[in-house]
């Protein structure tokens, strides 16, 4: 008989639930011990995404480009807005927004969609939303390829070394994606409305974020003080502005407001992990 190499999985389970700090520690330990599973799940997600279409994974490059084309036509032709190099201007914000959008829509159903698995295997459920978030990262990185291509071919005068700082802003955004994804995936188990509701909230959020328009448009909204304030309190306001600073304007972003978003994102992620771990024991019963 072969000697198992993994540690013995003796466990003792009672009805007690650890406190918030214990839950957080458990959640982090879950992720650390199942890194490889998260990787497999993310890779499986990506392979599936490309396997049943003619162009396969080329869609990751085409998707943001086509979306850029649509918004460019709508905004510059229909609304006749003047903005130099508008395709690049909008692409710089579409890419991160698409990342956020798909991170939320993929994670929301990541737990409730795997009901069979959850009822038959013992594993840390936190890997499911995390895998969806990780898969999103690589899609975002693929989207950077057409971005760099566009800069080199059509807008060389916008090309700046500042694009090398994109990963820093990505880290800030990652915590936003992670916290909301974890929270929604857990709550959606109990209330399936979340997945319907999130679609509309995301759409409204998209139009209230500086994707199609820039920070200067928001500044001019003096007449609508309330809306203007909401726009600026939106965590995506500094994040999208930062991407645009790095890609379009070739200048350094406002590190102060980014730092605030980062701190808020980390706090929100900690909160989301605790909520997720607190609800996790009920998943197998409710699904």
Partner 1 sequence: MMQPFKRPEPAAAGSFAIDVADLGVQYNLRLTRRTTFRQTLANASRRQHEDRRFWALRHINFRLEHGESLAVIGPNGAGKSTLLQVLAGIIVPSEGTIDVRGNVSSLLILGAGFDQELSGRDNIMLAGAFLGMSHKELMGRIEGIIEFADINQFIDAPIKTYSSGMRARLGFAIATSVDPDVLLIDEVLATGDQAFRDKSKARILEIAANARAIVLVTHDMNWVTEFCNRAMLIEKGTLVAEGDPAEIVAIHQQHSAEAQERVVAQGIFAGAKL
- Positions that interact with partner 1 (CB under 8 A): 1-15, 34, 36-37, 40-41, 44, 47-48, 51-52, 116-123, 190-193, 281-282, 284-286
**What is the nearest approach in angstroms of partner 1 to the Cβ of residue 2?**
7
Output the CA–CA distances (angstroms, integers) from residue 63 to 13, 58, 114, 166, in the order listed.
47, 9, 27, 20
CB nearer partner 1, residue 39 or residue 264: 39
CB nearer partner 1, residue 51 or residue 82: 51
**What is the nearest approach in angstroms of partner 1 to the Cβ of residue 37?**
4
| Euclidean distance between CA atoms 68 and 246, whole angstroms | 18
Output the CA–CA distances (angstroms, integers) from residue 85 to 79, 140, 158, in the order listed.
16, 22, 9
CB nearer partner 1, residue 36 or residue 200: 36
**What is the nearest approach in angstroms of partner 1 to the Cβ of residue 208?**
23
Angle between helices 255-286 and 166-190 (to 10 degrees): 30
What DSSP string runs through 76-106? IIIS----TTHHHHHHHHHHHHHHHHHHHHH
Cβ(274)–Cβ(20) below 8 Å: yes
**What is the nearest approach in angstroms of partner 1 to the Cβ of residue 107?**
17
CB nearer partner 1, residue 107 or residue 188: 188
**What is the nearest approach in angstroms of partner 1 to the Cβ of residue 12?**
5
Cβ(270)–Cβ(178) below 8 Å: no
CB nearer partner 1, residue 47 or residue 81: 47
């Amino acid at each position: 008989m072969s000697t198992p190499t993994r540690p013995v999985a003796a466990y003792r389970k009672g009805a007690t639930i650890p406190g918030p700090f214990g839950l957080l520690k458990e959640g982090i330990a879950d992720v650390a011990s199942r890194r490889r599973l998260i990787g497999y799940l993310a890779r499986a997600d990506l392979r599936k995404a490309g396997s049943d279409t003619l162009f396969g994974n080329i869609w990751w490059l085409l998707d943001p480009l086509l979306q850029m084309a649509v918004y460019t036509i709508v905004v510059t032709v229909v609304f006749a807005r003047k903005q130099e190099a508008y395709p690049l201007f909008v692409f710089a914000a579409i890419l991160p927004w698409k990342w956020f959008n798909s991170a939320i829509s993929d994670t929301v159903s990541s737990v409730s969609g795997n009901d069979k698995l959850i009822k038959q295997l013992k594993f840390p459920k936190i890997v499911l939303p995390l895998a969806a978030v990780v898969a999103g990262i690589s899609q975002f990185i693929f989207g950077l390829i057409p971005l760099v291509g566009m800069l080199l071919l059509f807008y060389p005068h916008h090309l700046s070394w500042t694009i090398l700082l994109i990963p820093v802003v990505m880290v800030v955004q990652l915590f936003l994606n992670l916290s909301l994804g974890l929270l929604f995936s857990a709550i959606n188990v109990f209330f399936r409305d979340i997945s319907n509701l999130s679609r509309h909230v995301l759409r409204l959020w998209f139009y209230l974020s500086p994707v199609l328009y820039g920070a200067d448009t928001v500044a001019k909204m003096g007449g609508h003080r309330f809306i203007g304030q909401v726009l600026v309190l939106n965590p995506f306001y500094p994040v999208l502005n930062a991407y645009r600073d790095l890609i379009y304007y070739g200048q350094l972003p406002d590190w102060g407001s980014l730092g605030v978003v980062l701190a808020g994102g980390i706090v929100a992620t900690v909160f989301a992990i605790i909520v997720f771990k607190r609800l996790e024991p009920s998943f197998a019963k409710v699904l």
